[in-house]
Structure 1
Amino acid sequence: MGDVVVVTGPPGSGKSAVAGELADLLDPSVLLEADWFFGRWRRGAVDPWLPEAAAQTAPAGRAALAATVEFARSDAWVVYDGVLHQDAAEDLAARAADAGVAVHRAVLLPPVGVCLARVGARTGHGFDDPDATRAMHAAFAAEVGGTADDAVLRDDAASPGGLAARVRDLLRAGALRVPGPVAAGGVRP
């Protein structure tokens, strides 16, 4: 079985660039871009970052996670590029555990100003909302707190290739593993 590596963070954090570089470092590998699943809605689509999109984002998110586990069953590294908060990562780890697949998660969290500048400079990208960028950055910042956890990469000066190499090294060290499901009584199986 393969493993899943989630590269996540707010918009403009560098997820797509780092995830692509990381997939190139792992062999064999699959790059799964979560945005593809959220972009399948056509008529009646609601921007997935809006609260009223929940009826559309929930099935799209489940489909992305199911595809991620299926690709990992093929004995490949699956690099998941998308916004995936801790609770959803734990949900993925529970699904993956049933298939014998481990899940790892790296959070890219450069300063909010860096994310805003990157989002503002995008061309040809469907997302350019500064308020939503701020809100998602704040949600990730609240989730990870001020910890110096290895799974949180705050370096905004490193190249995508440099960050991908760091994630690969953290994978090798076992520092990115998402805990599996908790059994009754709060004990991990």
Structure 2
Amino acid sequence: MNGDVTLLTGPPGAGKTTVAELVATKAAKPMVHLTTDLYYRAIRTGFVAPYLPGAQRQNEVVIGAIVATVREYARGGYDVVVDGILGPWFLDPFRAAAARDDLALSYVVLRPDLETTLARAKQRAGNELKDVTAITGLHNAFADLGDLEKHAIDTTYLDTERTATEVRRAAASTQYRLG
């Protein structure tokens, strides 16, 4: 039996990785947590920041590698939560894989307001993205999701545990499924 796939996304600082870790660690059945950052960080030479215009080809390759990994885990019976900046522009390869392998695919967007997003991003450790202009641009990219608006959860006033609960609820409902 195939596992279910949840794409957990939103702007930098939205809490994707922290929430995905909670969701995966406290799952009722076997679950894998994939973070897209690791796929980008694997590029040692020739890396282009994924939000820059020159990163298109790199991003396509990285998304292909993520989709292949997701498929293998899900076909092996694991539920998979993928956290990363997976805007609507990246959904087609995931949709194609879900259709090909008959996988349940949910799309959940964590979307705190810009002020909260910037405050959270400023507190991030290490080499995580903290550039205000880049974060604001990525926040704006999730501001109007069109037909996918129903996939957004306002997490401005939610703590990590409450957000994880909301993500679990979303993944269990059909409202967040991509057809």
Report if TM-score (shorter chain) is over 0.5. yes
Contact 1:144 1:152 in 2 (8 A): no
Contact 1:9 1:137 in 2 (8 A): yes
1:26-175 alignment to 2 at 5 Å? 26=27, 27-144=29-146, 149=150, 151-175=151-175
Farther-moved stretch of structure 1 (8-17 vs 48-57): 48-57
- Cα deviation for residue 33 of structure 1 reads 0.6
Structure 2 alignment gaps of length 5 or more: none
Number of aligned positions between the proteins = 177
- Over the matched positions of the two proteins, sequence identity in percent amounts to 32
SS where residue 178 of structure 1 aligns? coil
> Which entry has the higher C-alpha Rg, 1 or 2?
1
Contact 1:7 1:105 in 2 (8 A): yes
Opposite residue 65 of structure 2, the aligned amino acid is: A
Determine the C-alpha separation between the residues in 1 that align with 2:124 and 2:78.
31
* 1:114-159 per-position Cα deviation (integer Å, ceiling 9, x unaligned): 1111111222133121111111111111225895x2x211122212
Q: 1:186 corresponds to which residue?
A: none
- Cα deviation for residue 70 of structure 1 reads 1.2
Determine the C-alpha separation between the residues in 2 that align with 1:51 and 1:119.
22
SS where residue 80 of structure 2 aligns? strand
Contact 2:19 2:161 in 1 (8 A): yes
- Cα deviation for residue 81 of structure 1 reads 0.6
Contact 1:89 1:178 in 2 (8 A): no
Determine the C-alpha separation between the residues in 1 that align with 2:170 and 2:121.
27
* 1:66-99 per-position Cα deviation (integer Å, ceiling 9, x unaligned): 1111111111110001111124224302212211
Q: 1:8 corresponds to which residue?
A: 9
- Detail structure 1 runs of 4+ shifted over 4 Å in the superposition: 144-147
* 1:48-68 per-position Cα deviation (integer Å, ceiling 9, x unaligned): 221112232221111111111
Structure 1 alignment gaps of length 5 or more: 180-189
Determine the C-alpha separation between the residues in 2 that align with 1:100 and 1:145.
22
Determine the C-alpha separation between the residues in 2 that align with 1:77 and 1:144.
27
Determine the C-alpha separation between the residues in 2 that align with 1:169 and 1:146.
17
Farther-moved stretch of structure 1 (122-131 vs 71-80): 122-131
Contact 1:90 1:178 in 2 (8 A): no
